[in-house]
Amino acid sequence: MLSQTILTLFLGLAYLSQQVESVGFAEELYCGLENCYDVLEIDRGEFDKQKLSKLYRTAAKKHHPDRVRTSDPVKAEAEKKFRLIATAYETLKDDEVREEYNYYLDHPEERFYNYYQYYRRRAAPKVDLRLVILGTIAAISVFQYWSAKSKYAEALSYALTVGKFRNQAIAEGVQRGKKVASTPKFPFRGGYKRESIYDTLIWQCIVLPLNTYHYIIWYIKWTMKYTVRREEYDEEAKLYLIRKHMGMGENQFNCLSDAEHYEFLDEELWVKANYDEWKKLKDQEEREKLAKSGKYKRYKRWLKNNEGSTISFLDEED
């Protein structure tokens, strides 16, 4: 009984395998059981793309459903023929699709691959991906610009309420012959600096090749000067190494005051060992300062009484 079941299963698998590997047109692909070239009455060996549109119009006009005024079955057949003509035209007019179709005609035994090619093409997005990427970059750039503009206006509004900044605006206005400068320019840095097209993503994409070239040149010079010839670091190189040790971006590092930069240089933080020691001391100072904070002590008591919960707090200034 078992051997008979196994034999039946084997014969069934053999039959399915034969059906899968059988050659010929697939009803679900392209023009179904017909050849797209024959549908448009085109000789594949003498295919001329320049004449394709004319042949399509001729066939479509000849078999257009509106020309049929008889019974419904005949009209339905005409509509089916018209759709077939349109499918044949869409298949042959695109060079890549026509190449895939020609492969399908020449290799009907590769059924799975032909199915993949056909449905991959149908599922591919119709919109040009390049336009989507360009539109996304443009939208992000506009958002960046207006966000920076809003933040700068917010910082400017606040600065005019602070005495020393207002006095600076008055001094600037006096130089211009006005009582108060209408648009004073404060040296805001970081996230509140003045908006600029040069800080947007679209500009960064435009200058990326140039920036890449400059970086390569800079890296070669750096290697030759400080690695090969082993020259002493100048101030700019020292600040670069310090910024690298701190893990800061260029704009973030430049937002620090000149006094802080000079402090870093005095501490010789471009030397990794010196930076590690300095960082260790700074972290210890922060922990000691935090331990003396009244809000932090209240937080610790609250956390002890509410184990597993967290709250946010602000450090008190000494």
Q: How far is the first Cα of the chain from the last one, in angstroms, to the nearest whole number?
A: 92
Give the Cα separation of 223 and 232 in Å (integer): 13
Task: Give me the pLDDT at residue 80, please.
Answer: 87
**Which of 168 and 310 is assigned the larger pLDDT?**
168
**% of the chain with per-residue pLDDT over 70:** 73
Q: Does the pLDDT value for residue 53 go beyond 50? A: yes
Give the Cα separation of 251 and 211 in Å (integer): 16
Task: Give me the pLDDT at residue 240, please.
Answer: 92
Within 8 A by CB and 6+ apart from 202, the residues are 137, 138, 140, 141
Task: Give me the pLDDT at residue 201, please.
Answer: 92
Q: Does the pLDDT value for residue 148 go beyond 50? A: yes
The answer to whether the beta carbons of residues 93 and 100 sit under 8 Å apart is no
Q: What is the amino acid identity at position 45?
A: G
The closest of 25, 38, 129 to 92, measured between CA atoms, is 38
- Residue 308 pLDDT grade (very low, low, confident, very high; cuts 50, 70, 90): low
Q: Does the pLDDT value for residue 30 go beyond 60? A: yes
Task: Give me the pLDDT at residue 208, please.
Answer: 93
CA dist 115 to 32, 90, 100, 112, 243, Å? 12, 17, 11, 5, 56
How is residue 175 written in tokens? 């130089």
pLDDT digits (tens, 9 = 90+) for 265-304: 999 999 999 999 999 998 888 888 877 777 766 766 776 6
Task: Give me the pLDDT at residue 120, please.
Answer: 84
Give the Cα separation of 132 and 255 in Å (integer): 35
pLDDT digits (tens, 9 = 90+) for 179-236: 444 555 556 666 677 888 988 999 999 999 999 999 999 999 999 999 999 999 999 9
Give the Cα separation of 89 and 60 in Å (integer): 10
CA dist 164 to 46, 158, 169, 255, 259, Å? 84, 12, 9, 20, 20
Q: Would you put residue 230 in left (φ > 0), alpha (ψ -120 to 50) or beta?
A: left
How is residue 147 written in tokens? 């966000």
Q: What is the mean pLDDT of the chain?
A: 79
Lowest mean pLDDT among 4-8, 49-53, 314-318: 314-318
Task: Give me the pLDDT at residue 138, please.
Answer: 93
Task: Give me the pLDDT at residue 119, please.
Answer: 86
Task: Give me the pLDDT at residue 218, please.
Answer: 93
Task: Give me the pLDDT at residue 28, please.
Answer: 86
Phi, psi of 107 (to 5 degrees): -130, 65
pTM for the full model? Answer: 0.49
How is residue 192 written in tokens? 């509140």
**Which of 88 and 171 is assigned the larger pLDDT?**
88
The closest of 89, 81, 77 to 42, measured between CA atoms, is 89
- What is the mean pLDDT of the segment spanning 7-18? 46
Q: Does the pLDDT value for residue 263 go beyond 70? A: yes
Q: Does the pLDDT value for residue 316 go beyond 50? A: no
